[in-house]
Structure 1
């Protein structure tokens, strides 16, 4: 164990160290009478070689200095010009230092300030020495005191977020985003700063910068990016269907930062809350609830949002008109020259009639390929089918080839109402498209999307199974344009009607008699 230097005894110790060095010099200078004996004993040499030691803070390190044939020479540890130990005497007042297992230097609780070169020297006439380098590994540490900060930018501008960290080795900064990818589409990005160009509301959120260098645990800072922008409004549905006496909700989704004030209008009249009219706000969802809807409630509603940066509005139409119908038929028909179209529609008010439009696909190309005589014959057959004169045909089908049929509806109190119509005198193996819309006492509803269907090209095709067997169960009755309702078991009266219908169908097929038929359920 090396002797330590106290404050009271430090002058005496330093004097002793000086005397030891003088003695070492004198010993090395005795070249005459002692030269032979020194060579005989052998010169001191280092067994240990210089190296670099990478140590974490607060750990303990031992810097080795093993000497062969030390003799009476003084061994000393130095750091720069400061002498730490001389022989077995500890000169440095640092209590963390001591000599262990000979002349090895131990340093406890190492700190970043301990990094540097430590020299072990033998006090020969020409001093011999080795250098041990101590590198202190420091875990990463954020230079900013707070681990959470806010960043703010206006829409369209560039947001720049920075993150600085210290440590040894120099930490690597990695950027990520909470529950999302970065604006560039990447999962992560390395760099001290992250730039978001042309910022919009989708870029707002929580970003993390993480510093790591392989020493200790990584450290993370959270950056909350706020993008200031005028209100942006989305509606769940721009057209809402309801009925008298019912309750309905009109919904606007309002995004804005800072938050916006939202008001509702009906046409040009600003609305206030009443017992029958309720306004709710939950997060970005703004809802106008109308209870016990009256006819006077139908019309155009507008939600207007304003947050000081701008104003935005979106409109919703509240209507009692029928919804868009949906076709139920299969696309491939079983008939060569006719097709049964069926559809359903939602309407809180009973539907009064339907308007069905249909045409052959690529009608203009097909008409152009036919001889003039056949084109004339086709137009005459269409007029015979639907009872149209030349002026009606010009107005309805001249421009785009569409033909229309009014199909009466069977009054029903059900929300979902169904109807069907058999189109005859079609071309075998041809493709057609159809659209339909419904009318109730509030007017015509929106037209359905286009539905494409095709007639059969098979010579053996006799009939097409109904897409709604519970309503149109009997093919004979269906093809005659009759409505067939069934609840399962057939009564004798029903069987009688079906037999008669089959007989009429056989006669129809034999005579190739055809007439338009329609119905609804």
Structure 2
């Protein structure tokens, strides 16, 4: 069934009315001529304490006019006795004046008039612009653990609506958080550096930005720093173990020896010192002092710190073993088949002997790794007796002879006293002089010299036997300084430092190694 012309006309009229409402914000009932407003719908933006005049001009006389705000009646000309709100005044032409506008005056205002042609209305708005304000919730300091999610809300007011920015102290600087106008914050606390003020800032272009902050206190598992994990001492002296503990809340400290709690007495004393008391953490120095050391006091210790967040521990060793030896420049020049070594170590007990380990590095293998080497490239050991002096500084030397010219060697040294062997020294790498054949593609420069070639400093750990760590530069003296002063013992094959039965024995070993390498070389030539 087709729609009648009357229905179609009503539909068109409704569409026209909707368009009028959307564009002119005017409503007309009765005669369409009643909608002839001379004023236009207006949104007035003012600051506080300004005066606003909302127009309501019509081309026809009106019988009455009334104003409302957000559907709340303000004034009606038909009822002059009706109390007008403070700071508001109705003018004879129908306009409404609002003086000293406040934030409460913000809203939608409607002017409604009655004329002979019918009722008509027009809409206006007032936006009172004011400076932004900000507040953070929760307001109290926030206690939170590492690994938890921090939640906070920034409540803001202001007209226009403020833009919100979050910043947080990370370390010693305020870092912006990657949020874009978000009033709710969720951030993962990664470590203790997140302690500090959390701040939100609201900006709307009116006056100065507003900020609010709250303190964030991060609770974390104690952090232990040990500057000397191995403490060298000797029986009868005082041993001192130390660990530095950073924590919040403050940690309690316990010492363990071979897994058992240390029993304190007059001889074994625990010393605790407050180093730093910061707003967000404390740093304490904890020492274990053991007087008149006994053999039973030596061994592994553990400094264990705990608070309500967790427990952490650090291992320390109290030992009488010698310290790691270090190589020193030798005063005597080396040759293509011999190399001089001097080393120094520290031991609180007399040294018994040294172990000198050396090997030849295969050609082209500048950075040894996990590999299977022929016997001629395996580690060789020499035991060198000490002179038994008390030290604590001990120096010694040795000369390796029968070396292959134009070859690269590595050497390490260990020291032993009554408590055992020291850890291996850093690996010293040196090259014997002569014509060095460089393989194609090698980064080394071809050189011919009777001096020793310096090689680069590298670092690696030899698998299996745990020999050494850092590869040291080959050290060839140029100053002629006499390092023999104060030596505990010196050995030299060939009499550079002085022959002794021990040196003769070591000479025999060196010659034997040289003969073995000589015949291996001849056999290799025969195979060719």
Range class of TM-score, shorter chain = 0.5 to 0.7
Counterparts of 1:186 and 1:436 in 2: how far apart (Å)? 54
1:471 to 2:453 alignment: no
Counterparts of 2:256 and 2:72 in 1: how far apart (Å)? 85
1:38-85 deviations in Å (ceiling 9; x for gaps): xxxxxx975x754433445x4434346497999999987653463448
Counterparts of 1:247 and 1:61 in 2: how far apart (Å)? 86
Match of 1:316 in 2: 316
Match of 1:436 in 2: 413
TM-score (norm 2): 0.59
Q: Secondary structure at the match of 2:430?
A: strand
Counterparts of 1:177 and 1:293 in 2: how far apart (Å)? 52
Match of 2:149 in 1: 159
Q: More relative contact order in 1 or in 2 (CA 8 Å, sep 6+)?
A: 1
Counterparts of 1:351 and 1:462 in 2: how far apart (Å)? 33
1:135 to 2:127 alignment: yes
Alpha-carbon spacing, 1:472–1:130, altered in 2? closer, same or farther (3 Å) = same
Match of 2:379 in 1: 402
RMSD of aligned residue pairs (Cα, Å): 5.0
Counterparts of 1:204 and 1:273 in 2: how far apart (Å)? 41
Alpha-carbon spacing, 1:342–1:62, altered in 2? closer, same or farther (3 Å) = farther
Offset, 1:336: 2.3
Alpha-carbon spacing, 1:209–1:310, altered in 2? closer, same or farther (3 Å) = closer
Indicate conservation of the 8 Å contact 1:114/1:136, yes or no.
Answer: yes
Counterparts of 1:175 and 1:293 in 2: how far apart (Å)? 59
Match of 2:167 in 1: 176
Indicate conservation of the 8 Å contact 1:363/1:401, yes or no.
Answer: no
Paired residue for 1:239, among 210, 226, 230? Answer: 230
Match of 1:507 in 2: none
Match of 2:496 in 1: 482
Counterparts of 1:255 and 1:444 in 2: how far apart (Å)? 34
1:216-249 deviations in Å (ceiling 9; x for gaps): 53332325354576x6655434312235676554
Alpha-carbon spacing, 1:69–1:432, altered in 2? closer, same or farther (3 Å) = same
Offset, 1:483: 4.4
Offset, 1:208: 1.2
**1:275-290 matched pairs, under 5 angstroms:** 277-282=269-274, 283-290=282-289
Indicate conservation of the 8 Å contact 2:53/2:98, yes or no.
Answer: yes
Indicate conservation of the 8 Å contact 2:134/2:202, yes or no.
Answer: no
Kindly indicate which of the two structures has a greater share of residues assigned to helix: 1
Match of 1:265 in 2: 256
Indicate conservation of the 8 Å contact 1:364/1:401, yes or no.
Answer: no
Q: Secondary structure at the match of 2:358?
A: strand
Alpha-carbon spacing, 1:284–1:239, altered in 2? closer, same or farther (3 Å) = same
Indicate conservation of the 8 Å contact 1:244/1:293, yes or no.
Answer: yes
Offset, 1:357: 0.8
1:175-219 deviations in Å (ceiling 9; x for gaps): 43323499xx9854454444456x675476346141414255333
Paired residue for 2:450, among 438, 461, 470? Answer: 461
Unaligned runs of 5+ in 1: 1-43, 367-396, 485-512, 517-521
Indicate conservation of the 8 Å contact 2:338/2:402, yes or no.
Answer: yes
TM-score (norm 1): 0.60
Counterparts of 2:81 and 2:351 in 1: how far apart (Å)? 106
Q: Secondary structure at the match of 1:162?
A: strand
Counterparts of 2:359 and 2:375 in 1: how far apart (Å)? 12
Over alpha carbons, which structure has the higher Rg?
Answer: 1
Paired residue for 2:266, among 270, 274, 291? Answer: 274
Q: Secondary structure at the match of 2:126?
A: strand
1:347 to 2:343 alignment: no
Offset, 1:426: 2.0
**1:73-222 matched pairs, under 5 angstroms:** 78-79=68-69, 80=71, 82-84=73-75, 93-97=84-88, 105-111=97-103, 113-119=104-110, 125=116, 131-137=123-129, 139-141=131-133, 147-152=139-144, 158-168=148-158, 169-180=160-171, 187-190=177-180, 191-195=182-186, 202=192, 205-206=195-196, 208-214=198-204, 215-216=206-207, 217-222=209-214
Alpha-carbon spacing, 1:478–1:53, altered in 2? closer, same or farther (3 Å) = farther
Unaligned runs of 5+ in 2: 1-35, 275-281, 367-373, 435-446, 453-474, 486-490, 499-509, 514-528
1:19-43 deviations in Å (ceiling 9; x for gaps): xxxxxxxxxxxxxxxxxxxxxxxxx
Alpha-carbon spacing, 1:104–1:312, altered in 2? closer, same or farther (3 Å) = closer
Offset, 1:402: 0.5
Offset, 1:358: 1.1
Alpha-carbon spacing, 1:246–1:212, altered in 2? closer, same or farther (3 Å) = farther
Alpha-carbon spacing, 1:75–1:443, altered in 2? closer, same or farther (3 Å) = same
Q: Secondary structure at the match of 2:425?
A: coil
Offset, 1:435: 1.3
Match of 1:361 in 2: 361
1:348-381 deviations in Å (ceiling 9; x for gaps): 4454432211111238989xxxxxxxxxxxxxxx
Alpha-carbon spacing, 1:83–1:200, altered in 2? closer, same or farther (3 Å) = closer
Indicate conservation of the 8 Å contact 1:181/1:188, yes or no.
Answer: no
1:301-348 deviations in Å (ceiling 9; x for gaps): 223345467655443111222211223459xx9632222333332334
Match of 1:452 in 2: 429
Offset, 1:291: 6.2
